[in-house]
């Protein structure tokens, strides 16, 4: 085999290795890239539906008033 053929094979192997690395990175970071491009998914409730509330209705906000 001549030098030119060897060089072509070496370049092909390098390109193949780079392609495998790129594919692995895209698969590993796919979800993060999706959020970066599209933004986070926010589910908006449909009108008329009941949503969960934070806390209970008996909670008070602010300082407690001492009772005697």
Q: Where are the domains of the chain?
A: 1-40
Total H helices, total E strands in the chain: 1, 0
pLDDT tens for 52-62 read 655 555 555 66
State residue 38 phi and psi, 5-degree precision: -90, -25
Rounded CA separation 12/5 (Å): 11
pLDDT tens for 10-55 read: 999 999 999 999 999 989 988 888 777 777 777 777 776 666 655 5
> What is the pTM (predicted TM-score) of this model?
0.46
């Amino acid at each position: 085999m001549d030098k030119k053929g060897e060089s072509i094979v070496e370049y092909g192997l390098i390109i193949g290795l780079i392609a495998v690395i790129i594919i692995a990175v895209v698969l590993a970071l796919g979800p993060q890239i999706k959020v970066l491009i599209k933004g986070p998914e926010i589910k908006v409730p449909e009108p008329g539906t009941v949503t969960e509330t934070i806390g209970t209705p008996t909670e008070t906000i602010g300082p407690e008033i001492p009772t005697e």
